[in-house]
Amino acid sequence: MQVVGILDMYAGEPNQGMRCIQEIIGRYPEELAFQVYDVRGNATLPQQIDQHRIYIATGGPGNPEEGDGVWDKAFGDFIQAIYEANKQREEKIFVLFICHSFQMAVKHFGLAQITKRKATSFGVMTVHKTAEGMEDPLFHALENPFWAVDSRDYQVVKPKKKRFTEMGAAIIALEKIRTHVEYERAIMGVRFSPELVGTQFHPEADPESFLHHLKKPEVREKIIALKAKPNTVACSSIS
Q: Is residue 236 part of a domain?
A: no
Residue 222: which domain range?
Answer: 2-227
pTM for the model stands at: 0.89
Task: Answer yes or no: is 67 within a domain.
Answer: yes
In the chain, % of residues over pLDDT 70 = 88
Question: Does residue 238 belong to any structural domain of this protein?
Answer: no
The answer to whether residue 155 sits within a structural domain is: yes
**pLDDT tens track for 116-127:** 987 777 778 999
- Number of domains, the chain: 1
- 115 - beta bridge partners? 155
- Tell whether 234 is covered by a domain: no
Asked whether residue 232 is domain-assigned, the answer is no
Rounded Cα gap, residues 170 and 208, in angstroms = 32
* Lowest mean pLDDT across 23-37, 83-97, 111-125, 225-239: 225-239
**Helical pair 217-227 and 207-214, crossing angle rounded to 10 deg:** 80
Structural domain includes residue 215: yes
237 inside domain: no
Report the CATH number at residue 84. Answer: 3.40.50.880
